[in-house]
Structure 1
Amino acid sequence: MNFSEREDKTLSFSNIGLDRGAVEETFEPWDFTVANWEKEGLKTDFNQKLRVPTVPTEVGYISKDRPVEFVDHYYSAMVTDPVFRIEQQFGLDPVKRMAFRIPFLSYEEKILEETPEYFTKLDIDGCIRKYYRGRDLFTLEKSIVSDEKTWEQHKAHILETYHKYCTDEAMERIYGPYREGCAKGDFSIRFRLTGFFWAPRDLFGVEPHLYAFYDYPEVIKDINRLQLDIYREQMGKILKIITPTVLFFEEDLSGKTGPMISGDCFDEFVAPCYKEIIPFLKEQGVKNVFVDTDGDFTLLIPNFRRAGVDGFLPVDVNAGVDLVAVRKKFPDVKFIGGFNKLEIVKGPEAIDAEFERLLPVIKQGGYMTGVDHQPAPSTPLKHYQYYLKKLGEIMRQYRGENAK
């Protein structure tokens, strides 16, 4: 059994044909956590290779040790090998993490004003922000989209950038090196796309986005239409090079008290996008389509399922999401994550208890155990290593044809 097959079988609800459950992590680790582990003796180049971007609409990490070009933001594999190396150090199953992103990040950065207290900057996403010196603080002065006119201007800019940078040659250069290993199952691929709630929010800003569902509904639908058209064109080619076992859409449409939009709003604006793109992705070989959202998303599970979504990650325990209770209510929904990161901080006894809590779902299948988000910076290295050792034991004991 190769690694891609093991991952897919782990996410099935059967042990037939499975040697053991996959031992994987939900997301790449936090840079602060890795820095603290380095003080405890971990040897890694993770923080030498990657850095957190300053622009809040840019997701994840970007390269630190080489120049970053516009195309690197679109055919995104900057995290792939640095994350792979550190996860291999920890003995995790091999996963290559990558993404495709529409060219929303496509403006030349420019300082617009400087004072001793702050500087105002046009950022790569086209938004204008004020950054305060000596403090990790900024304010959004002007979003890139505020109405129909600004969207049409930005849309024209996006399409110009798209046709300039998103070429077949660039695609092959970024993803091509992973073709052979993917085909052989030497590793599984975890692939990201920006979701249909997330993208308009980045363009409008958080609060204006929520008003835009009422004030500019056609703009939101047109943003999503652009996403769908580009995803169909690009993913139709990308998926001939690499085939993810798990592809997930970044949405973050929930908080601790529940979703940010109603079921009716979701069904009008978001669900039609999933109903169109998910069958297309599965026709191209994608086995599992997940949604990434923080917070308590459970009220929208029926809506997501009707739209064709298979499962969710990272299952935010500290937002009150009880994975065991949710699985009882929705027995066919798949999950990745759900292990309370704060229990790892406490040490072996708490880790054992958390595994015991999750055991009913582990035994049922359709679940890859992972940390809800990433290990916290306060996590001792030895506790995380214990968690991984225990995870490997659990996956051998309870998933597979010889499972108890």
Structure 2
Amino acid sequence: MGRLRGAGCLPCPRHPRGGCRRRDPRQLLGPEHSPLHLVGPPGHDRVGGATLRQTASGGIMPGLLVQRRGGGGPVPRAPSLEAPLVGRCGLAAHRRRPPRSRGRRQPGALRPGGYDGRPAGGPAPAGLVRGHFGVEAGSMNAQERFHAVMHYMPRDRSPIMDFGFWDETLTIWQAQGYPKGADPDIFFGMDPQWIVAPINVHLCPAFPHVVMEERGDQEVVRDHEGVTKLQGKFLGSIPRHLDHTLKDRESWEREFRPRLEGGVPARYPADWPALVEKYRCRDYPLGVNAGSLYGWLRNWMGLEALSVLVYDDFRLFREMVRTVAQCVIDTLRPVLEAGVRFDYALLWEDMCYRVGPLLSPRLFEEVLVPNYRRITDLLGDHGVDIVVVDCDGDITRLAPLWLEAGVNTMFPIEVGAWGGDPCAFRERHGPSMRLIGGVGKQVLAGPQEAIAREVERLAPLVEEGGYIPTPDHRVPPDVPLANYLCYLREARRVWGKDLPNLRPMGQPGRPSPHATARYAWHLGE
């Protein structure tokens, strides 16, 4: 059997020399050094004996077989989503992109069939030892597993990931046996997670951080975004904004617009060429920051002032959104054109409260959606088809608009704040919308029996794919260390299938006497 040639698509009417940057299924499996490669007769549209069926969207829906480099039997790939599998380019030919519509996009549909790599009703391949998801048990690296989950393909298990922790949580856990100075990713046995290339799409240069006043356990600071705020020195509650550098068009033109020039050398690390070489040999999912079109403006100006600006100077609001988007595009374009292949892009917004969005869906669709689309089109042209938005609060009314804008992964789906449920999101939006999060942090503070029930409740969605479960925000200090360890044990047993490639977990040691004495009040003792 011959290998599929080229780094992009197979011969394509629009790209006869093979320069197409749209993705073929090989790219879903990681960089070219990946131990998994598609195999099939050269020059044919059959892979591993499974016919590639062209879909109306220009994608394919195959039952793919991949072969391990260096020997080993073929491993089946399951039928997958139409468009997400190969972006906007099929293996045999492109289809012209249809004219954009302001209407809502229709979610893609899963082809009937199980996760063991067979088309519906087809026989199982002979001689294959399958794991729980239809591939060799424990055989995938973190990058392959991420793509398999997010593209509804067979995988050995779910990634074990988290959102992170309050700084106070890890400090207080020292009183419960967490080793001081330990790396939580290593101690808790997390899979490689949230590794993002150090490319700066934010204010450049940032404002200098200045401590302006000491107030006992609190301090007044001016932060890197030019925001003057009152914050706690130890207990990190939400800081109180006192003043903002961005107030009007004059301050925008003087202080902020010059800091949003994209593509300048200061936005890239000095060792960027060495990092590019390092990334080519990675076995973990690598992300890239895709900015923020509302959340940053809200930080820079304050919620009330920004909300009034939308009505008092709509032209300036629209200009600020477009300027931020252009900064992101101008900064990412040379990186993407140089051939760096990212596994996902990450937006940050935090533009919803427990009762809904801070900006009306009508204005969101009018101003933000076209600018998101400019960013996601650039990413999609270079093979980045997983775009994650980090937004707290009730995102119900904005989620379909993000999906229309090419932002297809919702995170963290807060449960306690407004009753978010990843299962309900999947039922409402279908497999086109991927999900990360959805494990209520309040559950982690409750009885351990409830933690086990929550893990089991989410298991069907985990096995369906397109979903990576994590706590729905940073773990707060009211979650005991014993409860978090219980959650991880259950997650590793149910979602991780107890496979041997789970990373080892650390064992709590003796409680720190200093931490016990200092934080006994917080522990209720």
Residues 286-308 of structure 1, C-alpha deviation per residue, up to 9 Å, x if partnerless? 23101111111011222111111
Structure 2, gaps ≥5 residues long: 1-139, 500-525
- Tell me which residue corresponds to 2:206: 106
Q: SS at the partner of 1:298?
A: coil
- Tell me which residue corresponds to 2:353: 255
Of residues 35, 40, 46 in structure 1, which corresponds to 2:171?
35
Of residues 305, 326, 333 in structure 2, which corresponds to 1:229?
326
Distance 1:385 1:242 in 2: 37
Residues 315-365 of structure 1, C-alpha deviation per residue, up to 9 Å, x if partnerless? 100121122222111112110010111212224311111122223322321
| Greater alpha carbon shift after TM alignment, 6-15 vs 184-193 | 184-193
Q: 1:247: Cα distance to partner?
A: 2.0
Of residues 373, 382, 386 in structure 1, which corresponds to 2:482?
382
Are the counterparts in 2 of residues 179 and 242 from structure 1 also a CA contact under 8 Å? yes
- Tell me which residue corresponds to 2:147: 8
Aligned residue type for 2:259: I
Are the counterparts in 2 of residues 8 and 287 from structure 1 also a CA contact under 8 Å? no
Of residues 380, 392, 396 in structure 2, which corresponds to 1:294?
392
Q: 1:249: Cα distance to partner?
A: 0.7
1:179–1:42 CA distance, 2 compared to 1 (3 A): farther
Q: SS at the partner of 2:191?
A: coil
Distance 2:450 2:215 in 1: 50
1:312–1:138 CA distance, 2 compared to 1 (3 A): closer
Q: 1:119: Cα distance to partner?
A: 8.0
Structure showing greater Rg: 2
| Greater alpha carbon shift after TM alignment, 134-143 vs 187-196 | 134-143
Q: SS at the partner of 2:410?
A: strand
1:357 equivalent in alignment to 2:454: no
- Tell me which residue corresponds to 1:334: 434
- Tell me which residue corresponds to 1:88: 186
- Tell me which residue corresponds to 1:154: 255
1:392 equivalent in alignment to 2:492: yes
Q: 1:129: Cα distance to partner?
A: 4.6
1:138–1:309 CA distance, 2 compared to 1 (3 A): closer
Aligned residue type for 1:269: V
Distance 1:292 1:139 in 2: 22
Are the counterparts in 2 of residues 253 and 294 from structure 1 also a CA contact under 8 Å? yes
Q: SS at the partner of 2:470?
A: strand
For the aligned residue pairs, the C-alpha RMSD in angstroms reads 3.3
Distance 1:217 1:249 in 2: 23
Aligned residue type for 1:342: Q
Q: 1:396: Cα distance to partner?
A: 4.1
1:171 equivalent in alignment to 2:269: yes
Higher helix share: 1
Q: 1:313: Cα distance to partner?
A: 0.5
Aligned residue type for 1:271: V
Are the counterparts in 1 of residues 350 and 392 from structure 2 also a CA contact under 8 Å? yes
Distance 1:243 1:110 in 2: 37
Distance 2:273 2:479 in 1: 36
Q: SS at the partner of 2:345?
A: strand
1:37–1:302 CA distance, 2 compared to 1 (3 A): same
Of residues 220, 224, 244 in structure 2, which corresponds to 1:143?
244
1:336–1:159 CA distance, 2 compared to 1 (3 A): closer
Are the counterparts in 2 of residues 244 and 286 from structure 1 also a CA contact under 8 Å? yes
Identity %: 25
Q: Number of aligned residue pairs: give it.
A: 354
| Greater alpha carbon shift after TM alignment, 382-391 vs 127-136 | 127-136
Distance 1:161 1:274 in 2: 16
Distance 1:374 1:115 in 2: 27
1:287–1:3 CA distance, 2 compared to 1 (3 A): farther
Q: 1:104: Cα distance to partner?
A: 5.8
Distance 1:252 1:116 in 2: 30
Are the counterparts in 1 of residues 262 and 330 from structure 2 also a CA contact under 8 Å? no
Of residues 181, 185, 189 in structure 1, which corresponds to 2:286?
189
- Tell me which residue corresponds to 1:324: 423
Distance 2:146 2:493 in 1: 16
Distance 2:263 2:481 in 1: 42
1:215 equivalent in alignment to 2:312: yes
Distance 1:199 1:295 in 2: 16
Are the counterparts in 2 of residues 96 and 187 from structure 1 also a CA contact under 8 Å? no
Provide TM-score, normalisation by structure 2. Answer: 0.60
Distance 1:389 1:241 in 2: 39
Distance 2:156 2:382 in 1: 27
1:158–1:317 CA distance, 2 compared to 1 (3 A): same
Are the counterparts in 2 of residues 10 and 21 from structure 1 also a CA contact under 8 Å? yes
Q: 1:190: Cα distance to partner?
A: 4.1
1:249–1:117 CA distance, 2 compared to 1 (3 A): closer
Of residues 9, 14, 19 in structure 1, which corresponds to 2:156?
19
Distance 2:482 2:211 in 1: 44
Q: SS at the partner of 1:299?
A: coil
Of residues 365, 368, 371 in structure 2, which corresponds to 1:273?
371
Distance 1:386 1:190 in 2: 29
- Tell me which residue corresponds to 1:78: none
- Tell me which residue corresponds to 1:303: 401
Distance 1:115 1:326 in 2: 44
- Tell me which residue corresponds to 1:199: 296
Q: 1:108: Cα distance to partner?
A: 3.5
Q: SS at the partner of 2:438?
A: strand
Q: SS at the partner of 2:495?
A: helix
Are the counterparts in 2 of residues 5 and 185 from structure 1 also a CA contact under 8 Å? no
Structure 1, gaps ≥5 residues long: 47-84, 400-404
Provide TM-score, normalisation by structure 1. Answer: 0.77
Distance 1:113 1:355 in 2: 46
Structure with higher RCO (Cα < 8 A, 6+ apart):
1
Aligned residue type for 1:274: Y
Q: 1:183: Cα distance to partner?
A: 2.6
Are the counterparts in 1 of residues 293 and 325 from structure 2 also a CA contact under 8 Å? no
